[in-house]
Amino acid sequence: MKINALDTETLLIGLDGDAAALVMRWRRYLESERRVSAHTLDGYSRDFAGFIGFIAGHTGDTISPRTFARLSVRDFRAFLASKRGSGVGARSTARALSTVRNFYRFLARNEGIENDAIKAIQGPKLPHRVPRPLTEEGARTVMESIGDLAEEDWIAARDTAVIALLYGCGLRIAEALSMNVGDVPSGDTMRITGKRGKERVVPVLPAVRDTIGLYRKLCPFALGNSDDALFVGKRGGRLSPRAVQLAMQKVRAVLGLPESATPHALRHSFATHLLSRGGDLRTIQELLGHADLKATQVYTEVDSARLLDVYDKAFRRA
């Protein structure tokens, strides 16, 4: 979902024509070259609009490209102080600072505008947070129970298939819901396009294929073309993440699971349970499609046969 005209207009408030054009080039760079998701692009834009709004009020003038170049350490610190003063949490403040840094890296690399002051700014200290996976029993119970709460059989089959992909293949929810009919695996592996368009091959257990097959059989909407959305909502459009989150929220309440039992926690569970069954970290990183370049270069040395062997041993009981 792209930002609508009103959001774009809001983003550019306080900028002169040249600065507005520069910001729009940055957004196009994020979208076309960095290939960030629509959700991430929206987050960047909203954080940056907050930065622009503060700087415009802080300087009392329309912002030009020269303004970006001349902002001082004191200006950036004042922005962070304003976030803290308005009650914004440390993680949100750190995310906003990351957005501003991203923008300035773009200026330096693509626009010839340098400002070393941003490099001297330290973000707020963040509490260390580790992933909170479900237990193996909890994950299996979710897969077995999530369909019981659906209104119709085909929706039950759909929700079960999505959960199977998150836990059985370690997919991100966006990766699962962006799958088209042509992406449905027919063998032991499937190719997934992850963040920034990076592709990876993940093993697929027969149980996962079976859940997808049952959903397709029961789905009342035609899913015949290879470019049709695989998972659809009640009206036949591509299924939204919110629908999966609500389904998970219901089963979480019924099973008495903690609030940390979210769709993304199933991906954490996939990795944790695989590791506990003997999977090595490099293999798990490969399966998850993490974006670290150096790590990715190491993971490409792991052949698909070994991936499948480790995966099969870890999830033989599935």
Select the more confidently predicted residue: 276 or 176: 176
Active site residue 58: no
136-314 adopts what CATH topology?
hpI Integrase; Chain A (1.10.443)
Q: How many CB atoms neighbour CB 206 within 10 A?
A: 10
Q: Where in the chain is the domain with CATH 1.10.443.10?
A: 136-314
Select the more confidently predicted residue: 49 or 124: 49
Q: What is the mean pLDDT of residues 55-78?
A: 92
pLDDT, tens digit, 9 for 90 and up, residues 73-109: 999 999 999 988 888 888 888 888 999 999 999 999 9
Cross-strand bridge partners of residue 63: 15
Asked whether the predicted pLDDT for residue 142 surpasses 70, the reply is yes
Active site residue 299: yes
Comparing CA positions, the residue from 43, 42, 49, 40 lying closest to residue 20 is: 49
> Which residue among 58, 195, 216, 277 is the active-site one?
195
Cross-strand bridge partners of residue 199: 193
Q: Which helix (H) or strand (E) holds 249?
A: helix 241-255
Please tell me the predicted confidence (pLDDT) of residue 212.
93
> Which residue among 44, 167, 215, 299 is the active-site one?
299
Query: What value does the mean pLDDT of the chain take?
Result: 81
pLDDT band at 313 (very low <50, low <70, confident <90, very high): low
Active site residue 195: yes
- pTM for this model (two decimals): 0.59
Please tell me the predicted confidence (pLDDT) of residue 127.
62
pLDDT, tens digit, 9 for 90 and up, residues 170-195: 888 989 999 999 998 888 888 888 77
Give every CB contact of residue 227 below 8 A, 6+ residues apart in sequence. 180, 181, 182
Active site residue 268: no
Cα distances (angstroms) measured from residue 92 to each of 100, 130, 171, 286: 13, 18, 25, 29
Active site residue 70: no
> Which residue among 27, 172, 268, 273 is the active-site one?
172
> Which residue among 267, 268, 273, 311 is the active-site one?
267
DSSP state string for 68-88: HHH--HHHHHHHHHHHHHTT-
pLDDT, tens digit, 9 for 90 and up, residues 29-42: 988 887 777 777 88
Active site residue 200: no
Percent of the chain with pLDDT over 70: 81
